[in-house]
Structure 1
Amino acid sequence: MHTIELGRVSVTRIPHFGNGPLPPAEFFPGTDPDLWQANRTWLVPRHWDEDADRVRVKVQTWLLRSAGRTIVIDTGLAAGTVQPGGVPLTASLIAAGVAPADVDLVICTHLHADHVGGNTSPDGNGALVPAFPHARYLFSRPDLDFFDPRTLTEEPGRSAAVYEQSIAPILQSGQAQIWDDSYTIDENLRLTLAPGHTPGHGVLTLESDGDRAVFAGDLLHSPVQVLAPEVSSCFCHDPAGAARTRASTLAWAADHKALVIPAHFGGAGAVEVERDGSRFAVRRWRGFPDT
């Protein structure tokens, strides 16, 4: 775990595990193989296992300290599904000096399993309860509506199980804070809707003492999408919408010299982008030790 300071906000990277789930052609339908080859010198091995032809991603959590509060962005997979070699979130937080009771706010960028699995933990009787007993959990209204098991039509079985295990206990506890359109957390942090990957996907913008960053969630799974923002992942519910949101987010980051911090990038984990004519380019990697 490593920490950087952005203005008056500290940001700690808490890795869970890395894997290579799919080939580029399956992960990003419509991707140009020549684009991967043209950039292989820096994509391999952190973002692309060329030998196995698999996109490499990380599952990780971001721990922020801002305006006197301790904030967690995305909680990874449920403890029972943590991959071999992975560490449960609560254990990693304790290693970083943060007990579950110390967390004030949990931001769920969206409601996919690998972003909400650590929201809950079993109590002494085996029932699932909020893993962070004093925290408010931020859920967007569009995502709550979309993933409601009573109306969900996309992958209803799997998504309903995620909802039951990781969302419903938070709603029942009264710890949920439901937001829509935008939500100001404090003088440094603001959530806004960035739909496409899911209907209620959110990005967190940090602006503090001249530093800027955008925690982009699953708007990007690979830095290839900086070069080709029109290419969405196979996990996006609205690929065209995700592409539009991705392009507008990258444009803001380039124009405001903001660090882009997606949920799943390996390597340094964060990247500065710049305009390249009508498109975008990686200006430089910045943030955390290269992994």
Structure 2
Amino acid sequence: MSATSQPSDPAAAQTPSWSVGDLTVRRIDETALPAATGPWLLPGATADVVTRTPWLRPDFADEAGVLRLASHSFAVEVDGLRILVDTGIGNGKRRANPAWHNLNSDYDARLTAAGFAPESVDVVVLTHLHTDHVGWNTRFDCGSWVPTFPNARYLTSRTEWNYWAGVEMEEARQQMFQDSVHPVREAGLFGLVDVADVGTDIAPGVRLLPSPGHTPGQVTVELSSQGERALISGDSIHHPVQMGHPELCSCVDIAPELAAKTRHRMLDSLAGTSTLLLGSHFPPPTAGHVRCEGNAYRLAPTAPRGATVRG
């Protein structure tokens, strides 16, 4: 698994990318998340725990044990289909989390520079329906929220949709559905996938795998081509510290014990293989291979083309 050659467009050449056989996976950056995110999201990942996991530094944590996290999407073209995995926080949206409120990033420009202008996207995969994974589903235009990707089919698992449709949501989550999910459904662009236990293909070499726990219907995305394989984590693993300590759960995991079980199973299946793991919130270098370390795991980072792993 190696970094791929970049597009000839100089702007696109700045987009981090990796190869999986003859596929090119591009990371579309939205924003780095503030230092306060780590202690809130992963309260068990204390500074002591982080500093006792030395391989996390310098890429994934600083010397004081503060975790680095990021918000981004992954884009890939498969068999003529242009696919985007997750859509980040979004711009100009009213959010309870101060770091996400009224964000103003250049995500859309980065997406276009990478060769994935919004109108050219065919499929948007939503690993789960959380605020920081659906935000760019829509954009504000002429007084209302409209689909950012007007020619795309937005896909999520039926289990995920049925869960949220059946629970009483707090005001902040209701707001997110109103501005980032319902406009897509009302436009007739929203699709539900019945994800089998062994996974369900949505395109040649693109498979959705059930990864419950963080949410009931969360999926991870498996890419395969020419005998090579990559896995986009969703929030099964928020941060590499959970590889060294798989029992660490997120404060927003709906079923923490199941989330930990899913994470253990995933890491065990990846350990020692050539499968590239792409973390949905991992900061640069974002990708790597899973290796066993004692009774747990570690990430051996793989930098995209033109970049090096620090340290």
Provide the secondary structure at the position in 1 that maps to 2:260.
helix
Within a 5 Å distance, the mapping from 1:140-179 to structure 2 comes to 140-148=157-165, 151-153=166-168, 156-179=170-193
Give the deviation of 1:280 after TM superposition. Answer: 2.0
Distance 1:20 1:87 in 2: 14
Provide the secondary structure at the position in 1 that maps to 2:31.
strand
Partner of 1:280 in structure 2? 297
Specify which of 189, 197, 200 is matched with residue 206 of structure 2. 189
The change in CA–CA distance for 1:135 and 1:85 in structure 2 (over 3 A counts) is closer
Distance 1:178 1:201 in 2: 12
Distance 1:43 1:13 in 2: 21
Within a 5 Å distance, the mapping from 1:235-250 to structure 2 comes to 235-250=252-267
Q: Which residue identity is paired with 1:152? A: V
Residues 72-126 of structure 1: CA deviation (Å, up to 9, x unaligned) = 1111112115689963432211122222111000011111111100001133x32
Deviates more, 1:254-263 or 1:190-199: 254-263
5+ residue gaps, structure 1: none
Aligned residues: 284
Partner of 1:48 in structure 2? 61
The change in CA–CA distance for 1:256 and 1:186 in structure 2 (over 3 A counts) is farther
Within a 5 Å distance, the mapping from 1:257-272 to structure 2 comes to 257-272=274-289
Contact map agreement 2:32 2:71 (CA 8 A) in 1: yes
Provide the secondary structure at the position in 1 that maps to 2:30.
strand
Percent same amino acid at aligned positions?
32
Contact map agreement 2:70 2:283 (CA 8 A) in 1: yes
Deviates more, 1:131-140 or 1:95-104: 95-104
Greater percentage in strand: 1
Provide the secondary structure at the position in 2 that maps to 1:163.
helix
Specify which of 117, 120, 145 is matched with residue 128 of structure 1. 145
Partner of 2:53 in structure 1? 39
Provide the secondary structure at the position in 2 that maps to 1:203.
strand
Distance 1:165 1:262 in 2: 26
Provide the secondary structure at the position in 2 that maps to 1:10.
strand
Matched, 1:97 2:111: no
5+ residue gaps, structure 2: 1-14, 94-99
Provide the secondary structure at the position in 2 that maps to 1:79.
coil
Provide the secondary structure at the position in 2 that maps to 1:114.
helix
Distance 1:25 1:72 in 2: 29
Provide the secondary structure at the position in 1 that maps to 2:177.
helix
Distance 1:23 1:166 in 2: 22
Matched, 1:20 2:34: yes
The change in CA–CA distance for 1:85 and 1:141 in structure 2 (over 3 A counts) is closer
Contact map agreement 2:287 2:301 (CA 8 A) in 1: yes
Residues 12-44 of structure 1: CA deviation (Å, up to 9, x unaligned) = 11111112343755432444654322224x434
Distance 1:245 1:204 in 2: 14
Q: Which residue identity is paired with 1:286? A: T
Give the deviation of 1:49 after TM superposition. Answer: 3.9
Q: Provide the aligned C-alpha RMSD in A.
A: 2.3
Partner of 1:87 in structure 2? 105
Contact map agreement 1:180 1:193 (CA 8 A) in 2: no
Distance 1:86 1:44 in 2: 29
